[in-house]
Structure 1
Amino acid sequence: MKQPLYVSGAGAVTAAGLNARQTLAAIRASLSAFEEKILSEPFGAVQIVARIPTHYQLRQTDGQWLVNMAARAIGEALQSGTRAAGSTAILLTPPEGFRNHPAYGDIAPQSFLAAVTSATGEKFHAASRALDGGAAASIGLLERAAELMEQNGVQQVLLGGVDSFINEADLARLGRAGRLKGVDNAQGLVPGEAAAFIRLTCEPDEPARFHAAIQGVGVAREKDSVLSDRYSQGRALLSALRDAVNGSGLPEGDINFVVSNSNGERYSGWEQLIARPRFYRTRREVLPTAYPAMTIGDIGAAGGALALMLAADSLLKDYAPGPTAVCEVASETGLRAAAIVARVPRR
C-alpha cells in the first residue's frame, strides 16, 4: 500500500452482540452464540447455528433482513466519527452471487446497495459500490478505499459486508456437500449471520497515543477452492501473505498474532496446515490465533471486515499478544486475502 489506512471506528450486528462493542467483548471472552435450529428439510433435523436474536417482523423476507442488518452496522460505524455521510463512501460485499441467496429473490443484486443506503436514511458519496467476492473481497477493497480518499474527494470509507447462511438454500447446499457441523461431522462449519463495517480514514481521527493502521495487503486466487473436489495446497494464501508483508515493509518475524475467518472445516484446516509453515519461518513457541467463528459461526461476506475490526480492537485495547497482526481471510470461491494491521504511535 502507498500509505497506511487507519481503522477509526466500526459497527456490527452478530449473534454475539447487536453492536461492535458487544460482539468484540463476546469474542474476547470466548463465549459461544451457538444454538440448535429445527430444519424443515429434512423435516425435524437439528442443526447448530449462530442466529441473531431479533423480532420476527425484521425477518419478513431474507432480503429485508440483510438490509436491516447492514443498515444497523453502517449507522453505528458512521456515528463513531463526526464526518458527514455525503463525504463517506460505502464499499460493501453482499452474499456471493453463485449461492443464489434467497435475498436476491426479494432484491436484485444490482439494487442491493441502493436498498441498504436507503434504509440508513443517509445519502452517501456517489463512489459507493457493492462487489461480489465474499469475505476476502473486503480485504481486496482496501486499495480501492485508499484510492477513493486520494482522488475522489472522499473523506472516509465504510468497508464491510453482510451475509447469512441461515436460510434453506444455503443449509441445503452445505448439507449436501457434507460441510455442516453436526453429531456425525465434528469438522464442519456452523452457519452464522452478521453485518460488519469498519470506518477507514487516511489520518487518525482522535489524538490518541496509539492508532491501528493497515499497512499491507495481499490478494490471490486459489484454484482448488472448497467448491472443487480437491483440497487446497495453500498456494494462494501463501502468496497473499507474502504480498501483504512485502507491502507493509515489515519482516515476517514481526508478526505477533493472526486473526482468521477459518470456520472449522477440514478443508480450511488442511490449507492452513500446509501454508503456514511455509510462510511463518521465524521460530515461535506458539502463534496466537483468533477465530471469531468459534463465537459467531461462519458469517460469509461479513468475515473480512470483522477480522480487521477484531485485530484493530485488540491492538488499541492492549489485549493483543504484540503490536502487529495479520488477518487471513478466505472466500468460498477461492479468493484469498491477507492484511497487516499494526499499532502505531501518534505522529
Structure 2
Amino acid sequence: MKRPLYVAGAGAVTPAGLNARQTIAAIRACLSAFEEITLGPLGVPQVVARIPTHRRLHRSEGEWLVNMAARAINEALGAVDPRVAAATVLLVATPESFRNHPAFAKVPVHDFLAMLVERTGRKFHPASRTIDGGAAASLGLIERAANLMEDQGVAQVLLGGVDSLVNDADLARLGQAGRLKGTNAQGLVPGEAAVFVRLAREPKRERVVAAIHGIGLAQEADSVLSERYSQGRAMLGALRDAVNGSGPSEPDIDFIISNGNGERYHGWEMLIARPRFYRTRRELMATAYPAMTVGDIGAASGALALMLAADSFREEYAPGAVALCEVASESGLRAAAVVMRTSGGR
C-alpha cells in the first residue's frame, strides 16, 4: 500500500448485539450467542448463532440480508451530510456464489446492491459494488478502496459484508459434509451478521484510530471443499505480503485476530502456516477468535476482524500496538491485514 488507510467507524448487526458497541462488548466479555434449534421433522438438535428478530424483517432470506446490511451501513456511516454519503463507496461482500444462497433465489445478486441502497435511504457513489469471495474478499479490496479515494475523489469507503449460514440450504450442505458442531466436536457453529467499517484517508475527529498498513491476498487450492487438507501455502503468502512494505514487519506483531471457526481443517492449516511465518520468539501470541461469540458469519468476518482491532486500540485493551488480521474464505481465498494503533486528529 502506498499509504495507510484509517478505520474511522464501524457498524454491526450480529447474534451478540444489534450494533457495534454491543457486539464488541459481548466479544470482550467472552459471551456466547449460541443456541440450540431443531432441524427437520425428526427434531434433530443443532447449535447455531442467530439474531433474534421480528418475522416481518425476515419474510425471506433475501430481505433478511438487505435489512441486516442496511442497519449496519447506516450505523457505520452515521449522521452525515447527504453530499458526503453520495461521495461514499459501498463495497459489500455477499455469500459466496458456489453456495447458491437462498437469499438470491428471489433477489438476484446483481439486484442486491440496488435494493440495499434503497433500504438505507441514502445515495452512494456509483463505484459501489458487491463482491464475491466470502470473508477474505473484503480485506482483499482495501487497496482498491485506497485507490478510489486517491484517484476518483471518493470521500470514504464503507467496506464489509453480510451473510447468514442459518438457512436450510447451508445447514443441509454443512451437515452432509459432517462439518456442523454437534455431530462433529470440531465442527462450526453457523451464524449470521452484517458488519461494515468506514475507511478514510485521514484521521479526523477520532481520539484514536487504527491504521491499515499492509494487506496480502492469495488463493488456496486445497480449500475445505476439496479432498485434501491445506498446507497453509496461500495463508503464508498472504501473511508475508501483508508485511512486505514500509509498515510494521513480523517482529512488530503483538496479537492476531482470526476468523477461525473451530473446524479441524482451519486448526491444521494455521498449525502449519504460522510457524513458517512467525520466526521471532514470543512467550505468547494473543489471539482473538470472534467466532467463539458470534459463530461463523461468513462474508461478514473480514470487517468484524478490522472492527475488533480498531476498537481494541481505541479503548486501550489491545495487548500491543500492532495487530494482524487473518481471514479465510470457505472457497479458499486467504487474506491478511496489518493494523496499527495510531493517534488521530482532534
Same fold by TM-score, threshold 0.5 exceeded?
A: yes
Name the structure 1 match of 2:60.
61
Does 2:330 correspond to 1:329?
A: no
Does 2:192 correspond to 1:193?
A: yes
179 and 248 in structure 1: CA distance in 2 versus 1, 3 angstrom threshold: farther
Whole-Å separation in 1 of the counterparts to 2:244 and 2:80: 31
Name the structure 2 match of 1:166.
166
Name the structure 2 match of 1:217.
215
Q: Which runs of 5+ in 1 are unaligned?
A: none
Name which of 295, 298, 313 aligns with 2:296.
298
- Equivalences for residues 89-108 of structure 1 within 5 A: 89-108=89-108
Q: Read off the aligned partner of 2:168 and give its amino acid letter.
A: E
Residues 9 and 80, structure 1, Cα contact 8 Å, conserved in 2: no
Q: Read off the aligned partner of 1:305 and give its amino acid letter.
A: A
1:9-58, CA deviations, whole angstroms, 9 ceiling, x for partnerless residues?
000000000000000010011000000011126x3101000010110111
Whole-Å separation in 2 of the counterparts to 1:54 and 1:271: 36
Name the structure 2 match of 1:88.
88
Whole-Å separation in 2 of the counterparts to 1:173 and 1:332: 13
Whole-Å separation in 2 of the counterparts to 1:29 and 1:167: 28
Name the structure 1 match of 2:177.
177
Runs of 4+ that moved beyond 2 A: 80-84
Percent identity (aligned)? 69
346 and 160 in structure 1: CA distance in 2 versus 1, 3 angstrom threshold: closer
Name the structure 2 match of 1:73.
72
Name the structure 1 match of 2:123.
123
Name the structure 1 match of 2:307.
309
Task: Report the count of equivalent residues.
Answer: 344
Whole-Å separation in 2 of the counterparts to 1:144 and 1:307: 19
Does 2:279 correspond to 1:281?
A: yes
1:346 is displaced (CA, Å) by 4.1
Residues 248 and 322, structure 2, Cα contact 8 Å, conserved in 1: no
Instruction: Give the secondary-structure state (helix, strand or coil) at the position aligned to 1:190.
Output: coil
1:165-188, CA deviations, whole angstroms, 9 ceiling, x for partnerless residues?
000000000001110000x31100
1:264 is displaced (CA, Å) by 0.3
1:153 is displaced (CA, Å) by 1.5
Whole-Å separation in 1 of the counterparts to 2:4 and 2:113: 27
- Equivalences for residues 3-152 of structure 1 within 5 A: 3-40=3-40, 43-79=42-78, 84-152=84-152
Whole-Å separation in 2 of the counterparts to 1:229 and 1:81: 49
Computed over aligned residues only, the root mean square deviation of the Cα atoms, in angstroms, reads: 1.2
Residues 9 and 81, structure 1, Cα contact 8 Å, conserved in 2: no
TM-score (norm 1): 0.97
Residues 70 and 195, structure 1, Cα contact 8 Å, conserved in 2: yes
- Equivalences for residues 242-281 of structure 1 within 5 A: 242-281=240-279
Whole-Å separation in 1 of the counterparts to 2:139 and 2:37: 32
Q: Read off the aligned partner of 1:261 and give its amino acid letter.
A: N
1:53-86, CA deviations, whole angstroms, 9 ceiling, x for partnerless residues?
1101111100000000000000000106667210
1:276-328, CA deviations, whole angstroms, 9 ceiling, x for partnerless residues?
01111111111100000000000000000000100111011110000000000
Q: Read off the aligned partner of 1:107 and give its amino acid letter.
A: V
Whole-Å separation in 2 of the counterparts to 1:288 and 1:116: 37
Whole-Å separation in 1 of the counterparts to 2:16 and 2:297: 12
1:115-142, CA deviations, whole angstroms, 9 ceiling, x for partnerless residues?
1111101110101011100000000010
Q: Which runs of 5+ in 2 are unaligned?
A: none
Q: Read off the aligned partner of 1:58 and give its amino acid letter.
A: L
1:230-267, CA deviations, whole angstroms, 9 ceiling, x for partnerless residues?
11000000000000011353221110000000100000
1:211 is displaced (CA, Å) by 2.2
Name which of 316, 319, 344 aligns with 1:318.
316
Whole-Å separation in 1 of the counterparts to 2:45 and 2:301: 25
Name the structure 1 match of 2:341.
343
